[in-house]
Structure 1
Amino acid sequence: MMRLGEIAAMRATVDEAWRSEIADRVGGRWALDPGSLRWWRSSASHVFVLPDGVDERGVLYVRFAPASDPAGARLAQGAALQERLRERSAAVAGPVVSRAGRVVERVPTAAGEMVAAAVLRVEGEEYDVDDLDEARAFAWGTALAGFHRAAGPAGAAGAAQSPRHDADLEALGADPDPRVAAAARTVRTASRALATGPTVVGHGDFELDNLRWRSERVVCFDLDESGPMPAVADVAAATRDVFDDWASNPGAPGLLRSFLSGYEDASGVAVDHRALIVHRAAVAAGSAAAVARAVGEPGPPPEDLAELADRLREHEARERQVLVTAAALLG
């Protein structure tokens, strides 16, 4: 997630009609008229939407982030993978090429150079956890396996697999909260003993809010967190919400087990539960660290972002608790 200061600076350029001169500058690379884009949200990137009926290409989402911020590099990496996957007819949102024929543009603006990409709106149903049954959870797991298959191999795994957020776990090992510090150390120790598993080109955030459903076909978008990773790490990132329900009753069947069954059925890979717990804890550590970086600037957050800062801090507290719970499950 970008820092609140960056989000506040962008918000300051947005007028009462949700237009921004920065977005206009970026949109020009896609031949969009000034004033046609409307601010949608800012989090991992700034997102502006081209409403229905404005352009013959349909509803477009233009996403951009500062080239000087890691968010810009992640956006470019995800857009490049998205283009490759579309060329393979994978179930991902359609990237829109710029006037210059590029999927990713670097655009100088009054707010600095931006890395930008555009995608078509994905039609379909949006589900949350309350909308799932075991059949849909199975299809969700099958869809992630399909993504891994389409993305292709990422190389052989080593004898052990450290979580993607190992550095965040290491930092939390010195946290002022002794429960969090002890949990982080427990998880890092457990990660060193994990059995070898396959490495994939993962989505990194195959959660329900990044998916649209067309009957049983699942189409994904927002590939900013994509890249080589253990398959179990991608499963852990995707299922974080249903994992949290399962963690309170690990012996129960239900959505997580159905997801894992769907993934195994389609990929041939059985996800080890202990490895899943380790990687879910790593996701929690990464989420908590990302929030701390986003809201950790000196002084209070900008007044119009105080509510967002509060919600993020609540999320950070929940993820820190997930880390503690996961450590307890690891024994």
Structure 2
Amino acid sequence: MMKLSSMLKVVETIDDEWRSSLAEQILERWEYDKKSLYYFRSSANFIFVFKKDGEWHFLRFIEKQERNIEALKDEIDILFYLSRHSIRVAEPVQSKNKRYIEEIETELGFFYAVVFKGLDGKQYEVEELREEQFLLWGRTLGKLHRTLKNMPKNLYLNRSTWKDHLNFVRRILPESEWAAYKELEEISTWANNLSITSDNFGIVHYDFELDNLCINKDEVGIIDFDDCANYWYAADIAFALRDIFHEKVDINHPSYQVFLQGYTIETSIDEHILKDLPLFMRMHQLIMFTKILRTVDIPELEEYPEWLQNLRKNLVNYIQKTRTEFKKLHS
């Protein structure tokens, strides 16, 4: 998630009709239907929706210092590889300059921007899913992993690894977060002793939750490969099912069992490492905790707009709740 200070300066360019002069300036590098561009959301990136020849597309951009250009290039290569191998993904669109990634200078600084085609289908909440959709969800992840296992390694050399993520935690955590540091040491020791083979480890989506899936009957489209990284495939299962495992990992949960059944239709899973789902969940929580600590980079002030005050409050509540959980683990 980006820093709140970054979010504020861009969202302030959005008017009452959800239009942004900044986003329009950035999108000028691509062909699009005029007056069709609207703000969608901000999280790790700024996302705007627009139409080109009447079809929905997405503009995604972020401040230059927040992204590695080589990692972005790898993401584009991965998407085209998956598309060629019958994985339904949001495909990148070339700019007028015949580039998939544009670096654009604006009054607010430099940004990297990319455009993707929209995907048909509905984005579900976990409570809405029927058993057959849990099966489809798992099967889609299994098919994705099976395809990624055969992908040439040169296509993802610049993507982050679990070690990079834990090094980020070590670099960002303040010394005062003693319980989080103890969690970091425990998770690091565990992860460093996990086996790594070509069958249990490779590039994963990292955020295969429902808000990144477009489900259309018996077909699933996948969006947002921005966080894809080198991990154990079991970690991708754990991260995908966070809404089911938000309290604790229950391997007897019927939805998990159906999801795993679908997954194993398409590819195998290391049963030994699968037993470590709770630890993968703890790893993800630690990384997310640190990211949000970094995100909350502005003080509590009444002069900020209400949406920002509310967002900051929610993030601070998450930090406090997670900090308490770490203390319970390591008191």
Output the TM-score relative to the length of structure 1: 0.83
Using the TM superposition, name which of 207-216 and 35-44 deviates more. Answer: 35-44
1:60-209 equivalence runs, <5 A: 60-70=57-67, 77-151=74-148, 152-153=150-151, 165-167=165-167, 170=170, 176=176, 180-197=180-197, 198-209=200-211
Q: What is the DSSP-based 3-state SS (H/G/I as helix, E as strand, rest coil) of the residue aligned with 2:244?
A: helix
Using the TM superposition, name which of 174-183 and 291-300 deviates more. Answer: 174-183
Match of 2:217 in 1: 215
Residues 81, 319 of structure 1: alpha-carbon distance in 2 compared, 3 angstrom cutoff: farther
Residues 251, 165 of structure 1: alpha-carbon distance in 2 compared, 3 angstrom cutoff: same
Distance 1:42 1:88 in 2: 30
Distance 1:143 1:105 in 2: 31
Residues 119, 172 of structure 1: alpha-carbon distance in 2 compared, 3 angstrom cutoff: closer
Task: Give me the CA root mean square deviation.
Answer: 3.0
CA contact 2:61–2:111 (8 Å) conserved in 1: yes
Paired residues, number: 317
Residues 228, 195 of structure 1: alpha-carbon distance in 2 compared, 3 angstrom cutoff: closer
Give the letter for the 1:44 counterpart: A
Distance 1:324 1:261 in 2: 36
Give the letter for the 2:45 counterpart: S
Distance 1:322 1:242 in 2: 18
Matched, 1:311 2:314: yes
Distance 2:164 2:188 in 1: 11
Distance 1:322 1:219 in 2: 35
Q: What is the DSSP-based 3-state SS (H/G/I as helix, E as strand, rest coil) of the residue aligned with 1:68?
A: helix
Distance 2:83 2:303 in 1: 40
Using the TM superposition, name which of 282-291 and 253-262 deviates more. Answer: 253-262
- Unmatched runs of 5 consecutive residues or more in structure 2: 154-160
Distance 1:124 1:4 in 2: 31
State the Cα distance separating 1:307 from its structure 2 match: 0.6
State the Cα distance separating 1:237 from its structure 2 match: 1.9
Match of 1:230 in 2: 232
CA contact 1:212–1:218 (8 Å) conserved in 2: yes
CA contact 2:141–2:263 (8 Å) conserved in 1: yes
Distance 1:324 1:266 in 2: 40
Identical-pair percentage? 25
Distance 1:231 1:237 in 2: 10
Distance 2:33 2:132 in 1: 44
